[in-house]
Structure formats: structure tokens, C-alpha cells
Amino acid sequence: MAGTAPPPKRSRRIVAREQQRASATRRQQAPSGVTDEEDPVLATAAPAVQLGAVPNRATCTLLSELGVPVATGRLEKERRKVGNRWIDKDMVAVELCSVLEPSVSYPYHDRYPLASKRSTAMHLDDMVGTTVAWSLDSLTIE
């Protein structure tokens, strides 16, 4: 095993997109009698949070990429922009209320920079009260 190279690292977004495409083709090719409950592969393709059933300004917990709760906030479903950038479909606007883990950096600063802040790394405890974009996969609704 010493001569084999380690497997290449892959982006979570690319892996998720490939899984979505694969599940969509499985749904198209599956017989009409097969449902998501019967096929576990189809059932796992659902997004983590369904925003349609969640009320606006609902309390939520923001998770790090490792699944650790780092902050609490309020969902802003009607908000479509953060700073000057449109929010993607896999993200949602959240108003930060409190920080659970001090000195955690805002992970989406490169993708959604805040207009008034020009530093490269922003800590969440400096951003309490502001609206940020957060991934739907790293969000739990209370």
C-alpha cells in the first residue's frame, strides 16, 4: 500500500451536485411504483432544511462545517441579497443573534463579503446583529 496515492480531495458542493444529478436520473429511470420511502438512495437526496414549511424569522442554529453549533440567529426568508450579492439557492439569509463558539471565522466571507468590512477573516462575534448568508446544509431550525 506504500506505493498507492491517497484519493483526491473533492469539494462538498461538487459531491452534492453529483449526488443530486444521480438521484434525479434514478427517479426518472425508476418504475412508477418505487417511492423515496422504498428506495433509501432516493430518500437521502432530500435537502437538509425545507424552507417552505418554516415561518419567516424562525429561530435557527448555525453549524460549522463539522456540524458543531457556532451561533444562533433568525431566518430571513424574504431577503434575497447580502451586501451587494444575490444569495444562491443553497444558501439563506440569517440575522445573527448570539455566538456560541467565540472566535469562529465567517466561512462564507469570500463568497458573500460584507460591504462595510474589508478584512480577510471575519469572526462571528464581531458580526452579531448583522445579516449573513449561511448554507442550508449547515442550518437547523428550532
In sequence order, what DSSP letters do the residues of 19-43 get, joined into one string? Answer: HHHHHHHHHHHS-TT--TTT-HHHH
pLDDT band at 42 (very low <50, low <70, confident <90, very high): very low
Report the pLDDT value the prediction gives residue 20, as an integer from 0 to 100: 78
62-80 mean pLDDT: 91
Report the pLDDT value the prediction gives residue 96, as an integer from 0 to 100: 94
Q: Is the pLDDT of residue 128 over 60?
A: yes
pLDDT above 70 coverage of the chain, percent = 73
Residue position matching grid coordinates 460549522: 64
- Residue 93 pairs in a beta bridge with 133
